[in-house]
Amino acid sequence: MRLDGSGADGLFDVLARTVEATLAAAPADAGADAAMAAPGARAMMGSAVAAIEWWLHADPGTPRAVLVGYPADLAWNGGRALPGDWLGFGGA
């Protein structure tokens, strides 16, 4: 359903369901929780939309490939490629 309540599926819904299906298919023995596939997919989509909105309006000179690659790595790999102190207080 669209956020405007029209009942018609928007692009966000279609993409979120695709991500949800991918998350739901992850094996439980790898620590995946199928019950979290729906909200997790929408969280991933929401963060992607927010990053795109920022990029479109701020025009920071960030190349498109970087904009796509960084959040994708964060979402799919749990941010393993991020520096250990990326939150500013040290880390593993």
Amino acid at 2: R
Specify the DSSP class assigned to residue 35: G
Report if pTM > 0.85: no
Judged by phi (left if over 0) then psi (alpha if -120 to 50, else beta), residue 88 lies in left
Q: Where are the domains of the chain?
A: 11-77
Q: What is the pLDDT of residues 21-58, one digit of tens each?
A: 988 888 777 777 888 889 988 988 888 888 888 888 98
* Angle formed at CA 46 by CA 69 and CA 16, multiple of 5 degrees: 90
